[in-house]
Structure 1
Amino acid sequence: MTVPSAPAPRGPIPRRLAFLTVPLMINLIYSAVTLLTLPFSGPVLNDLMAQMQTQMGVTGMTLSPAQVTAVLWLSFALTVVQILCLYYTRRAVLDGRSWGRVSSIVLAVFSLLFFPLGTVLGIVMLIGAFDRDVVAYTAR
């Protein structure tokens, strides 16, 4: 059984649509690299906890192996959800769907929090999302 393809959006593809799709692709690649490095982050967690312990003067801040495993699996699941959200948002924007534009605005606002690269990508995405041609292109 095949999935019916979405009808092509009306009109030519606007120039500033790349202001949405390129930062989404950069975020997608960055998240994929993060996902690939996640299995090697276990020892880093305990090292980070040890550094915090010495700086704050607090004792007993270590993670058991079960807690490290839980943290890594939770990080894995959240990163997979983020990758899927970025992928489907980018596809929706390219297909001219309005929910893709709205989702990219939400992602752009969250990207503003991750200084410095995320801030730049978020600003570029917001400029592209509020462009008149992009709004008209994603009006379905």
Structure 2
Amino acid sequence: MTQRPSPIPSGPRPARLSFLTVPLLIGVIYNGLSLLVLPFSGPRINDMLAEVSGQAGLSPLQLTPEQVTATLWTSFFLTAAIVLLLYFTRRAVLEGRSWGRGASIVIAVLSLLIIPVGTLLGIVMLIGAFDRDVQRYVSR
């Protein structure tokens, strides 16, 4: 037996719903683009490590090719998971699901740490998440 997707809430969407959906869409696009750039980051990893260790006054640190590959694959899977989380959270908010609002609040609080753009998007998302009309809209 197949499950039917639940219908979109009746009535107009609240004006501040876009305070949640637009930053989530920006996150999906930004992280999706970073997935496209990731395969070309391999040679840059050792350059960056050498630069940072030189600035810290330490001997240059170099990763083996296997470590670089493992780092890139780990970054790929983590970024892909973030893209999926942002996509499904945005979709849940648009469908009026309450877990989408909760996930948006967690994402907004974590994005406050990404100075300066993430902080701005996090504040906008928190304003939208605590708007009364948005809370009513996502009450399922």
Shorter-chain TM band: over 0.9
- Aligned residue in 2 for 1:26: 26
The amino acid that maps onto 2:9 is: P
Question: Percent sequence identity over matched residues?
Answer: 61
SS at structure 2 position matched to 1:51: helix
CA distance in 1, matches of 2:72, 2:85: 20
CA distance in 1, matches of 2:64, 2:3: 47
SS at structure 2 position matched to 1:41: helix
**Residues 56 and 8 from structure 1, CA distance in 2 versus in 1: closer, same or farther, beyond 3 angstroms?**
closer
Gaps of 5+ in 2: none
- Aligned residue in 2 for 1:48: 48
CA distance in 2, matches of 1:94, 1:53: 46
Comparing 5-14 with 69-78, greater Cα deviation is found at 5-14
RMSD (Å) for aligned C-alpha atoms? 1.3
Query: For each residue in 1:9-58, what CA deviation from the matched residue of structure 2 results, as whole angstroms up to 9, or x when unmatched?
Result: 14321000000000000011000011110011111110011112222222
- Aligned residue in 1 for 2:105: 105
Aligned residues: 140
The amino acid that maps onto 1:54 is: G
CA distance in 1, matches of 2:63, 2:8: 52
- Aligned residue in 2 for 1:73: 73
Q: Which runs of 4+ in 1 moved over 2 A?
A: none
Query: For each residue in 1:78-137, what CA deviation from the matched residue of structure 2 results, as whole angstroms up to 9, or x when unmatched?
Result: 000000000000000000000000000000011111111111100000000000000000
Q: How many angstroms does 1:60 deviate by?
A: 5.0
CA distance in 2, matches of 1:8, 1:68: 45
Q: How many angstroms does 1:5 deviate by?
A: 2.2
CA distance in 2, matches of 1:135, 1:24: 17
CA distance in 2, matches of 1:103, 1:27: 14
- Aligned residue in 2 for 1:82: 82
TM-score (norm 1): 0.95
CA distance in 1, matches of 2:139, 2:103: 14
Q: How many angstroms does 1:2 deviate by?
A: 5.8
TM-score (norm 2): 0.95
